[in-house]
């Protein structure tokens, strides 16, 4: 009897607890909706009465977002408080899908990397709120940006005419991929004062590296050109640059100068590229471990001073040591098949960075909040933190700044990562040269000069604009690509290593056609034509 | 007795073969353990270039320093211990009584109950419905979300039930009843004390499960203060690996620089993290292993 009553009590308590918890959940939702708030159209605060919204973002795990100075500052200024429903960066995709599937939406997505098909799908379902009308009224900075750069508007407008997300806009970052760099020591040792300009000259140089022992250790351990394999792609880091010598701007889809879209793996240029790579491979000029090693393993070779040509953000990151202007950037070479090398340039736009969901009670206020990030002041705040933390103005009128000493002898970037969320995530903002004015080093200046003279002045351009496919097009492309890319990846390795002779090219192209490669080009062509005519 | 018996040539050969085979098996099992320990204190360059293959080379403690200087690690440790202890206690409190009840042949409708419980082993709701249930119970972003939904594992109930069926004789129960013992008392005073092996096994099964689990925390938790160790370690790793996936777009020069300076210690951290997160389990295992073999064996021999 006694025991039975105890059990009952337990049950009762449990039940009560559950209902209490459920009650909490209900209450929260009720308080979030309704109540109208006046949103000021300019200046701060954005709202008179403080409001609270939820935000979902990927987190790199250095600092809790509640404790970030930038976000606290922003909350004070705007009167908008965010509750963060963050997920670790590497598992953000999983959590994002779960959130959509379970209809448990945050009020805004920040740095969410929403894909084109997600924007379209959830836009059509009404989960993501169309922003284009609100932008006119509540996003003056972003609107100015769109007016100045019509291509941005084209790229973020879905085929149904709506804008479902705001992009990352980076006008100061021109590289499509990390550049390649020559080992300056080797160049000097071999007496090369003019960088190779054609594929033949490059071949000769690499051959000399292999044979003449430029690192001077008496062993033939030099590796003329080395690459890595990641789960995503083989040797992508060097492919981008070598493909250009044969006329292809990009490895998958590019548009040529007469507006024709090419599917690169079945292009003539790809064949010539394979022939050349096969030659490098056969003569031992391409690192035989390129199809198996990781970036760390390649770096270990660089630090042993074995590499002559390699890809990285900056040369010293592979070679070790301090930043050095002695290692020149790779000058894109051209082959006998083309008149000038094709050089890819970064699009400068990444879509899907910021979106507002239908459960958001204050979409206008949210948009005003994010619009600040597209102004110089807002972008600066989110990029470098408030003045007095990381930097201070040397001359506010021309926006020149200087760095302040970092507290506790920390690494400056580590410190920055504790101030602002915009660290390693695709956050909605605009990056201009003004933001870093005065903060660049001599080395940075040298790198941008190299970029200017070797890439931009030689006609670098965007291989294929950021554009939207319709839901049907996207799903067709996805299903075709999943087979195609695996096949291409395998065959590329086989052609280069000689496991498949180049005489098999026609067969390979026939197989690609059977797998729908032409359809991929066709769909992209249609989408490109739409984009062009918009 | 054994000594005095003459071993035939064939027996000797067999013994020799056994030793060789076991030595090989030992190497296969031991090598990765030693490699990871060595790699965690060797310079990353030696590890990446393949110079370090068994014993540490160019010893450095930087990896462990980075791991232990991270305040989140300690918080994560604390959380994991809470999840593991509380979770395992709850698991035992649910599993053992259920298994015992189901093991009693005089329990009316036990096949019916068993059938329903078994059903969930083969058909589950799936990720999204489960998430919705947890959400509607108000458990999202609470510690309960990691403990309550996994309070009982059908598999473990079946194992424990088999154990009770095969080791607790019916006569014992009858004798106790004749002496006036109630069912509850029987369970507490007689069955449990006789079941140390299965309790240890269950504790280990559940404990390891809680210790290693990260997926449910990934799904249900939003605030970092509640992250278990595995989540924190993952985050540290991810941060280090960002450098590997970098390409021209989407990263600024400063981030690239920072990532580069970190990439040096990336592999160090990787191995350090593996050691830090598995050591406690490895340390506990020998103490439970005795029961482990015993418990699983008994459960498996008789049906």
Banded model confidence at residue A28, pLDDT cuts 50, 70, 90: very low
Interface probe with B: pick from A100, A223, A299, A312, most Cβ of B within 10 Å:
A299
pLDDT for residue B14 is more than 70: yes
Partner residue opposite A413 with nearest CB, options B128, B137, B255: B255
Q: What is the mean pLDDT of residues A14-36?
A: 42
pLDDT for residue A15 is more than 60: no
pLDDT at site B247: 42
Banded model confidence at residue B254, pLDDT cuts 50, 70, 90: low
Specify whether the CB–CB gap between B2 and B234 falls below 8 A. Answer: no
Q: Which residue of A has its CA nearest to B245?
A: A230
What's the CATH number of domain B63-301, 1.10.3720.10, 3.40.50.300, 3.40.50.150, 3.40.50.800?
Answer: 1.10.3720.10
Residues 6+ apart with CB under 8 A from A84: A54, A55, A56, A57, A59, A65, A66, B222
Q: What is the mean pLDDT of residues B161-173?
A: 88
Contacts of A84 in chain B (CB under 8 A): 222
Higher model confidence: residue A276 or residue B68?
A276
Q: At what angle do helices A236-244 and A268-282 cross, to 10 degrees?
A: 120
Banded model confidence at residue B242, pLDDT cuts 50, 70, 90: low
- Residue-wise pLDDT for A349-362, tens only, equals 888 899 999 999 99
Q: Which residue's structure tokens are 């951290």?
A: B269
Specify whether the CB–CB gap between A365 and A46 falls below 8 A. Answer: yes
Q: Which residue of B has its CA nearest to A86?
A: B222
Q: In this complex, is the C-beta atom of A486 within 8 Å of any C-beta atom belonging to chain B?
A: no
pLDDT at site B113: 92
Q: Which of A216-220, A240-244, B285-289 has the highest mean pLDDT?
A: A240-244
Residues 6+ apart with CB under 8 A from B207: B84, B88, B284
Specify whether the CB–CB gap between A71 and A108 falls below 8 A. Answer: no
Q: In this complex, is the C-beta atom of A509 within 8 Å of any C-beta atom belonging to chain B?
A: no
Q: What is the mean pLDDT of residues A512-522?
A: 94
Banded model confidence at residue B257, pLDDT cuts 50, 70, 90: low
Higher model confidence: residue B24 or residue B2?
B24
Q: What is the mean pLDDT of residues B14-42?
A: 92
Q: Which residue of A has its CA nearest to B127?
A: A98
Residue/partner pairs of A137-140 with CB below 8 Å, 24 or more apart: A137/A41, A137/A364, A138/A39, A138/A41, A138/A364, A138/A367, A138/A368, A138/A371, A139/A367, A139/A368, A139/A370, A139/A371, A139/A374, A140/A42, A140/A371
Taking the C-alpha atoms of residue A245 and residue A273, their distance in angstroms, rounded to an integer, is 8
Q: What is the mean pLDDT of residues B55-63?
A: 83
Taking the C-alpha atoms of residue A151 and residue A345, their distance in angstroms, rounded to an integer, is 15
Contacts of B250 in chain A (CB under 8 A): 168, 350, 426
Q: At what angle do helices B154-167 and B196-212 cross, to 10 degrees?
A: 170
Taking the C-alpha atoms of residue B157 and residue B141, their distance in angstroms, rounded to an integer, is 28
pLDDT at site B294: 66
Per-residue tokens: B296: 């699983």
Please provide the average confidence, as pLDDT, over all residues in chain B.
Answer: 82
Q: In this complex, is the C-beta atom of A106 within 8 Å of any C-beta atom belonging to chain B?
A: no
Specify whether the CB–CB gap between A394 and A400 falls below 8 A. Answer: yes
The full length of chain B comes to 303
Banded model confidence at residue A2, pLDDT cuts 50, 70, 90: very low
Per mean pLDDT, which range of A202-206, A296-300, A527-531 is the poorest? Answer: A296-300
Q: Across the interface, do B242 and A424 touch by the CB < 8 Å criterion?
A: yes
Q: How does A434-457 read in b/e, with b if 16+ C-beta sit within 10 Å? A: ebbeebeeeebebbbebbeebbee
Please provide the average confidence, as pLDDT, over all residues in chain A.
Answer: 86
Contacts of A61 in chain B (CB under 8 A): 72, 224, 232, 235-236, 238-239
pLDDT for residue A36 is more than 90: no
Q: Which residue of B has its CA nearest to A428?
A: B250
Taking the C-alpha atoms of residue A292 and residue A295, their distance in angstroms, rounded to an integer, is 10
Contacts of A303 in chain B (CB under 8 A): 45
Specify whether the CB–CB gap between B270 and B48 falls below 8 A. Answer: no
pLDDT at site A173: 79
pLDDT for residue A22 is more than 70: no
> Domains, chain A, ranges and CATH?
51-174+349-436 (3.40.190.10), 180-344+482-533 (3.40.190.10)
Per mean pLDDT, which range of A294-298, A470-474, B29-33 is the poorest? Answer: A294-298
Contacts of A347 in chain B (CB under 8 A): 249
pLDDT at site A396: 85
pLDDT at site A33: 42
Q: Which residue of B has its CA nearest to A228?
A: B244
- Residue-wise pLDDT for A247-297, tens only, equals 999 988 999 989 999 999 999 999 999 999 999 999 999 999 999 888 878
pLDDT for residue B146 is more than 70: yes
At A58 the three-state DSSP class reads strand
The number of CA neighbours under 13 Å toward the Cβ of A62 is 18
Partner residue opposite A413 with nearest CB, options B231, B232, B258: B258
Q: Where are the domains of chain B?
A: 9-60, 63-301
Higher model confidence: residue B80 or residue B214?
B80
pLDDT for residue A80 is more than 70: yes
Residue/partner pairs of B272-276 with CB below 8 Å, 24 or more apart: B272/B40, B272/B63, B272/B64, B272/B66, B272/B67, B273/B67, B273/B233, B273/B236, B273/B237, B274/B36, B274/B40, B275/B36, B275/B37, B275/B40, B276/B64, B276/B67, B276/B68, B276/B73, B276/B233
Banded model confidence at residue B259, pLDDT cuts 50, 70, 90: low
Higher model confidence: residue B219 or residue B248?
B219
Taking the C-alpha atoms of residue A148 and residue A151, their distance in angstroms, rounded to an integer, is 9
Contacts of B266 in chain A (CB under 8 A): 296
Per mean pLDDT, which range of A198-202, A405-409, B125-129, B287-291 is the poorest? Answer: B287-291
Banded model confidence at residue A442, pLDDT cuts 50, 70, 90: confident
Q: Across the interface, do B257 and A426 touch by the CB < 8 Å criterion?
A: no
Size of interface A-B (CB pairs under 8 A): 149
Residue A272, judged by CB atoms within 10 A of its CB (0-12, 13-18, 19+), counts as buried
Specify whether the CB–CB gap between B71 and B136 falls below 8 A. Answer: no
Taking the C-alpha atoms of residue B218 and residue A451, their distance in angstroms, rounded to an integer, is 41
ipTM: 0.71
Residues 6+ apart with CB under 8 A from A237: A177, A178, A180, A227, A228, A311, B247
Q: What is the mean pLDDT of residues A134-160?
A: 91
Tell me the nearest-neighbour CA distance from B22 into chain A, angstroms: 33
The number of CA neighbours under 13 Å toward the Cβ of B296 is 11
pLDDT for residue B111 is more than 50: yes
Per mean pLDDT, which range of A18-27, A182-191, A315-324, A500-509 is the poorest? Answer: A18-27
pLDDT above 70 as % of chain B = 84
Partner residue opposite A21 with nearest CB, options B49, B138, B247: B138
Banded model confidence at residue A144, pLDDT cuts 50, 70, 90: very high
Q: Across the interface, do B238 and A423 touch by the CB < 8 Å criterion?
A: no
């Amino acid at each position: 009897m006694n025991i039975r009553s105890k059990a009952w009590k337990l049950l009762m308590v449990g039940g009560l607890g559950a209902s209490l918890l459920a009650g909490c959940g209900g209450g929260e939702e009720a308080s979030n909706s309704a109540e109208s708030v006046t949103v000021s159209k300019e200046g701060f605060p954005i709202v008179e009465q403080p409001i609270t919204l939820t935000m979902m973002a990927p987190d790199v795990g250095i600092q809790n977002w509640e404790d970030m100075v930038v976000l606290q500052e922003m909350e004070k200024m705007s009167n908008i408080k965010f509750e963060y429903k963050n997920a670790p960066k590497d598992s953000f995709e999983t959590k994002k899908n779960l959130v959509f599937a379970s209809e448990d939406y945050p009020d805004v997505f920040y740095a969410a990397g929403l894909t084109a098909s997600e924007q379209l799908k959830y836009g059509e379902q009404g989960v993501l709120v169309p922003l284009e009308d609100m932008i006119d009224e509540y996003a003056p900075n972003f609107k100015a940006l769109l007016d100045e750069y019509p291509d941005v508007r084209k790229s973020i407008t879905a085929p149904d005419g709506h804008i479902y997300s705001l992009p990352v806009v980076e006008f100061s970052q021109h590289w499509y991929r990390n550049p390649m760099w020559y080992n300056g020591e080797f160049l000097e040792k071999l007496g090369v004062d003019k960088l190779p300009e054609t594929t033949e000259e490059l071949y000769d140089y690499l051959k000399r590296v292999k044979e003449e022992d430029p690192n001077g250790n008496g062993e033939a351990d030099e590796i003329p050109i080395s690459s890595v394999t990641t789960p995503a792609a083989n040797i992508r880091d060097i492919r981008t640059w070598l493909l250009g010598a044969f006329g292809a701007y990009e490895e998958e889809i590019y548009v040529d100068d007469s507006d024709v879209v090419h599917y690169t793996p079945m292009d003539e240029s790809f064949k010539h590229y394979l022939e050349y790579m096969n030659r490098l491979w056969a003569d031992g000029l391409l690192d035989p471990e390129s199809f198996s090693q990781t970036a760390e393993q390649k770096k270990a070779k660089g630090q042993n001073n074995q590499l002559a040509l390699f890809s990285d953000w900056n040369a010293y990151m592979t070679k070790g040591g301090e930043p050095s202007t002695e290692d020149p950037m790779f000058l894109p070479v051209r082959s006998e098949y083309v008149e000038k090398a094709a050089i890819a340039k970064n699009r400068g736009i990444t879509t899907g960075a910021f979106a507002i969901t239908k459960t958001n009670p204050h979409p206008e206020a949210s948009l005003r909040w994010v619009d600040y990030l597209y102004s110089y002041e807002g972008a600066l705040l989110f990029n470098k933190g408030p003045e007095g933390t990381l930097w201070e103005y040397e001359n506010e009128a021309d926006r020149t700044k200087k760095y302040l000493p970092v507290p506790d002898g920390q690494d400056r970037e580590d410190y920055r990562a504790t101030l602002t969320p915009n660290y390693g995530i695709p956050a909605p903002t605009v990056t201009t040269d003004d933001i870093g004015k005065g903060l660049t080093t001599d080395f940075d200046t040298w790198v941008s000069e190299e970029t200017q003279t070797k890439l931009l002045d030689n006609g670098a351009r965007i291989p294929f604009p950021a554009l939207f496919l319709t839901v049907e097009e996207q799903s067709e492309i996805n299903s075709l690509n999943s087979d195609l890319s695996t096949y291409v990846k395998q065959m590329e390795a086989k052609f280069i290593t000689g496991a498949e002779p180049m005489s098999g090219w026609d067969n390979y192209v026939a197989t690609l056609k059977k797998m729908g490669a032409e359809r991929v080009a066709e769909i992209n062509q249609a989408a490109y034509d739409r984009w062009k005519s918009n | 007795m054994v000594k005095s018996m003459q071993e035939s040539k064939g027996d000797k050969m067999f013994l020799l073969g056994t030793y060789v085979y076991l030595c090989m098996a030992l190497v296969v099992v031991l090598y990765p353990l030693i490699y990871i320990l060595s790699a965690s204190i060797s310079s990353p360059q030696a590890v990446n270039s393949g110079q370090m293959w068994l014993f540490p080379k160019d010893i450095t403690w930087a990896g462990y320093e980075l791991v232990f200087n991270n305040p989140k690690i300690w918080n994560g440790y604390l959380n994991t211990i809470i999840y593991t202890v509380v979770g395992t206690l709850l698991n035992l409190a649910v599993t053992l009584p259920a298994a015992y009840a189901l093991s009693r042949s005089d329990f009316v409708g036990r096949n019916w109950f068993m059938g329903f419980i078994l059903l969930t082993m083969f058909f589950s709701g799936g990720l999204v419905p489960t998430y919705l249930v947890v959400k509607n119970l108000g458990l999202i972003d609470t510690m309960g979300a990691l403990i309550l939904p996994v309070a009982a594992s059908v598999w473990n109930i079946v194992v424990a039930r088999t154990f009770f069926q095969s080791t607790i004789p019916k006569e014992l129960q009858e004798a106790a009843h004749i002496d006036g013992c109630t069912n509850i008392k029987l369970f507490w005073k007689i069955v449990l004390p006789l079941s140390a092996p299965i309790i240890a096994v269950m504790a280990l099964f559940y404990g390891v499960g809680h210790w290693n689990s990260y997926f449910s925390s990934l799904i249900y938790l939003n605030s970092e203060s509640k992250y278990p160790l595995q989540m924190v370690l993952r985050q540290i790793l991810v941060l280090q690996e960002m450098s590997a996936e970098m390409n021209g777009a989407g990263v600024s020069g400063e981030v690239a620089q920072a990532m580069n300076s970190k990439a040096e210690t990336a592999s160090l951290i990787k191995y350090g993290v593996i050691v830090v997160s598995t050591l406690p389990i490895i340390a506990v295992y020998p103490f439970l292993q005795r029961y482990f073999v015993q418990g699983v064996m008994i459960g498996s021999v008789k049906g």
